[in-house]
């Protein structure tokens, strides 16, 4: 149980630092609208999955994911090394978090179903 708590704390620290780096250091305008949702660190602290969303829409998510996992990956790890107190910085894997868009889709479907029931009840 203690190990789980440690990975959560490290994930939260990495998330805070990544948000700060992306806001202050990264000049690419394509990345200014992303939100880091969560960082999940492996038990051995060697890998971290970084889940992000894009607001107001997720249309550019693939380009952003490719950019974060490609050219910016080394820069982000280097900056994390300077901003955190970790001995070793985990290898980062950025993944687009689709849970928000799925939730919006489900909400829209529910609203449509309720509206359909109201129309049937009125007629």
Residue 90 near residue 46, CB atoms below 8 Å: yes
pLDDT tens track, the chain, 123 positions: 555 588 999 999 999 999 999 999 998 887 878 899 999 999 999 999 999 988 766 677 888 899 999 989 999 999 999 999 888 999 999 999 887 777 777 888 888 888 888 888 887
Dist CA 29 CA 119 (whole Å): 45
Gyration radius of the chain over CA positions: 19
Q: Give the CATH number of domain 2-98.
A: 3.30.300.20
Domains in the chain: boundaries: 2-98
Q: Give the pLDDT confidence score for residue 61 in this predicted structure.
A: 82
Supply the pTM of this predicted model: 0.78
User: Per-residue DSSP letters for the chain?
Assistant: -HHHHHHHHHHHHHHHHHHHHHHHT---GGGTTEEEEEEEE-TTSSEEEEEEEESS--TTHHHHHHHHHTTTHHHHHHHHHHHS--SSPPEEEEEE--HHHHHHHHHHHHHHHHHHHHHHHH-
Burial of 77 per CB tally in 10 Å (0-12, 13-18, 19+): middle
Q: How many angstroms separate the first and last alpha carbons of the chain?
A: 58
């Amino acid at each position: 149980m203690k190990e789980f708590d440690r990975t959560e704390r490290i994930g939260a620290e990495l998330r805070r630092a990544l948000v700060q780096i992306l806001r202050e250091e990264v000049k690419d305008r394509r990345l200014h609208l992303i939100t880091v949702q969560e960082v999940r660190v492996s038990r051995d602290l060697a890998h971290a999955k970084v889940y992000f969303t894009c607001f107001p829409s997720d249309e550019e998510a693939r380009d952003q994911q490719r950019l974060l996992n490609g050219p910016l990956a080394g820069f982000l790890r280097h900056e994390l090394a300077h901003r955190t107190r970790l001995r070793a910085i985990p290898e980062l894997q950025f993944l687009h978090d689709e849970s928000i868009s799925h939730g919006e889709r489900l909400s829209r479907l529910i609203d449509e179903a309720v509206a359909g029931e109201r129309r049937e009840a009125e007629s």
